[in-house]
Structure 1
């Protein structure tokens, strides 16, 4: 379930390119800061709903971007 890619740079300056629901879910689960907020939980829920066919991948992208901003993770969300 692909979407327009998003590039994030975390506090350790690791750059990750996220371009699908599966990748977003993996980054949220494995690489996200420990102190997560409401938008993090919403992004995780969006991934689950998209996996069940209940949500469009572009909505997952938006939720992922919102969670990154909430966590003070740099996001480059420019479209091609």
Structure 2
């Protein structure tokens, strides 16, 4: 998030040559964005990543690769 913030700040100051309006509101919004991203990542780790691991182990299981009888089909 810091590189994006730096790019927008530099563009605002050097290209548009304007002050950043309501800096305190932007800081509060940045804190909200950071909290939202943190909660989003926690949700991914709790819900989506375990499902992906389960699917990966099921798809790479020898019984799935070999078929019903356990002998690999050629």
Q: What TM-score, normalized by structure 2, do the two folds share?
A: 0.29
Which structure has more RCO (C-alpha within 8 Å, separation ≥ 6)? 1
Structure having the higher Rg? 2
Larger strand proportion of the pair: 1
Q: What TM-score, normalized by structure 1, do the two folds share?
A: 0.27
